[in-house]
Every structure is written in structure tokens, then in C-alpha cells.
Amino acid sequence: MTRCGTVVLAGRPNVGKSTLLNALVGEHLAIVSPKPQSTRLPVVGLLTKDDTQFIFTDSPGLLEPEYQLHEAMRAAAWRAIEDSEVIAYLHPLTEFPAPDLTKVAMLPKAPRAPIVTVYTKADLVRPANRPTVASPNVLISAVTGEGIDALLTAIAGMLPESPFHYDPDELATQPMRFFAAEFIREAAFDLLHEELPYSVAAEIDEFREGAEPVYIRAVLYVERDSQKGIVVGEGGRTIKALGVAARGKIEALLGQRVFLDLHVKVLPKWRRDEPSLKRLGYAKS
Ligand SMILES: Nc1nc2c(ncn2[C@@H]2O[C@H](COP(=O)(O)OP(=O)(O)OP(=O)(O)O)[C@@H](O)[C@H]2O)c(=O)[nH]1
Ligand SMILES: [Mg+2]
């Protein structure tokens, strides 16, 4: 008898959802940043352990929308919650206890699936100061690895009996183009400051896999001309550094050398523009 099912990682921005997805899968699939709101689209990661296959979905942080991109992010998080058989609701242990997920997510009604509350960043709280959490809820740390096995055991018991949906060796389901665009954004979150990472979107124009190195032409979009100047930098220094950082991340996942041909363009106010959001894949068309 095998078990297999979908598990969403949901919670407020910056609680450690993407970090946990990567720790569970053992591969850097989802972008991570100390800056909140880094995840904009769900990222699927697979883990097959013994007779259980977990189909994890990292989701955008639950927030009160301020503009159209936020609305698209919340809609994506809602869909991921709605489509899951188990909800892992992440909340930092430093802010114990977790408020009700339905409220945090501003869901019209309580979700159907069972909820495991996962207290994250346990390494930031001394053992003597930790609260006891009732089963099936768990404390975890992606830094020390503590609690991850207990989390998997708790979730496995809630998954339906089912054949595996994927080959046990598979880790991801989304195309390499998706990850390439995401890693360009991750580099932007790493290297740019203040409002800029939030104004950056990436689009892959060409992805030539047959070539050695693999040829990728990508556009990094910003919202205003003044931002374009900053992203390009003095003598092209900043865009060069962004390209080097993004290329390294893409090569690590692809396992092949990459030539990243990266351009900067202005897509005026794309965060507040529905057609732009659809074109960038953030909003449903
Ligand atoms: N100390 C500590 N920091 C962590 C842990 N897990 C994640 N972090 C840090 O918390 C920050 C946010 O992590 P993310 O994984 O990007 O958080 P997220 O919930 O995906 O954030 P959004 O996508 O913006 O909603 C990063 O700086 C991580 O390195 C942990 O277990 N311990
Ligand atoms: Mg994230």
C-alpha cells in the first residue's frame, strides 16, 4: 500500500515556506530571501520516501493586497490551499501561538483539508523557552534540520492511499524556463534594494537546450526608466553581477553550463497592469 497526495506550504510572508520546500526536496527549487514577498507563484517539489510520495506546493505569502500583483499572489495561494489534501500552515515560533489560518488567509470559509501548524525557525528560540505544541503540530528549523522527520511522519499519516503520481526520482514538475526566470528574480532580491526587487519581473525569450553551453535569452523588466538606470548600473556593472549570480543558480539546477543573455527593459507599472501580469504568468488569463 502506498500513499500519495498534495501538501501546500502556506503562511504569512517570510515565515520560511520556500526554505522548507527546498529542505524537504533537497534541492534549491524555490527562491528564498530575507526580504518578504519573494514568492509570487506556486512552486511544486516532490519527495518520495519509502511508500509515501509527497507533492509539496510552496505558495506566495498570505497578505492584504495593495495592488494587482498582490491580488494575483493571494489568488494563487488560495488555489494552492484549495487544491491540497493537507495544509502545512507555517508560522514562526518566535510569534507563538499562530493565529487562525482562515483569518490570516482572509479565506471566505475554513479550508476543507486538515491543517498541520508548523512552527518555523525553532533555532531562534532557546529550548528552555519553547512552548509545547500538541500533535500533529510540530516545531522545525530549516537551519538545523530539527523537526523535519516529525513533520513528514505527521503529514504522511494524513495522505490518502494512492499510487504514486510521479516517478520516485523526480523532484520538480515545472519547466526549466520557469526556474530560470525565478532565479533571475532571486538574484534581483539578493543584489537590489528597497523597492527595486518588487519592481523586477523576468521573462525567458529563448531557451536553447541543445546548445553547449545552454543559451538563454531573458529580459529583466522594471517599472520605470529611473529603475532601469539603477539595474544596469555604472558601466553595466549591476546587470553584469545580476547575470553572473542568476547564471550560477540556473547552472546548479540544470547541471549544465549556461550562457545567459540578459537584457533590461521597462514595462510601465506592470505590477498594477492586468495584461502585463497575465503576460508574465502571474495572473490567470
Ligand atoms: N533562523 C532561521 N531562518 C530561517 C529558517 N527558515 C527560513 N529562514 C529565513 O527566513 C527568511 C525567509 O525565508 P523564505 O523561505 O524566503 O520565506 P517565505 O515564507 O517563502 O517568504 P515569502 O515567499 O516572501 O512569503 C530567509 O532569510 C530564510 O533564510 C529557519 O529555520 N531558521
Ligand atoms: Mg517564499
Contacts of residue 265, defined as CB under 8 A and 6 or more positions apart, other chains included, come to 219, 220, 221, 222, 228
Tens of pLDDT, residues 154-171: 999 999 999 999 999 999
Tell whether the model's pLDDT for residue 15 goes beyond 90.
yes
Please tell me the distance between residue 236's alpha carbon and the centre of ligand 1 in angstroms.
31
Please tell me the distance between residue 147's alpha carbon and the centre of ligand 1 in angstroms.
16
Q: Is the dihedral of CA 6, 12, 17, 18 positive or negative?
A: positive
Tens of pLDDT, residues 123-136: 999 999 999 999 99
State the pLDDT at residue 223: 98
Tens of pLDDT, residues 85-114: 999 999 999 999 999 999 999 999 999 999
Peptide bond preceding 136 in cis form (omega within 30 of 0): yes
Q: Which CATH class is domain 176-279?
A: alpha beta
The three-class DSSP label of residue 152 is helix
Tens of pLDDT, residues 176-219: 999 999 999 999 999 999 999 999 999 999 999 988 999 999 99
Our answer on whether the CB atom of 31 is closer than 6 Å to any ligand 1 atom is no
Global pTM value: 0.98
Tens of pLDDT, residues 50-79: 999 999 999 999 999 999 999 999 999 999
Residue nearest to atom 32 of ligand 1 (CA): 121
Q: Give the number of residues written for the chain.
A: 285
217 pairs with which residues across the strands?
206, 261
Residue nearest to atom 8 of ligand 1 (CA): 16
Please tell me the distance between residue 34's alpha carbon and the centre of ligand 2 in angstroms.
10
Residues lying with their CB under 5 A of ligand 2, a single-atom ion: 17-18, 39
Q: Domain residue spans in the chain? A: 3-156, 176-279
Q: Which CATH class is domain 3-156?
A: alpha beta
State the pLDDT at residue 211: 86
| Amino acid identity for residue 95 in this structure | E
CA-142 nearest atom, ligand 1: 31
Please report, for residues 20, 128, 159, 162, 163, the alpha-carbon distance to residue 52 in angstroms, rounded to integers and kept in the order given.
18, 34, 8, 9, 9
Tell whether the model's pLDDT for residue 32 goes beyond 80.
yes
Mean pLDDT computed over 255-259: 97
Q: What is the mean pLDDT of the chain?
A: 97
Please tell me the distance between residue 160's alpha carbon and the centre of ligand 2 in angstroms.
26
Our answer on whether the CB atom of 59 is closer than 6 Å to any ligand 1 atom is no
> Which pLDDT band, with edges at 50, 70 and 90, does 246 fall under?
very high
State the pLDDT at residue 210: 87
Our answer on whether the CB atom of 146 is closer than 6 Å to any ligand 1 atom is no
Our answer on whether the CB atom of 15 is closer than 6 Å to any ligand 1 atom is yes
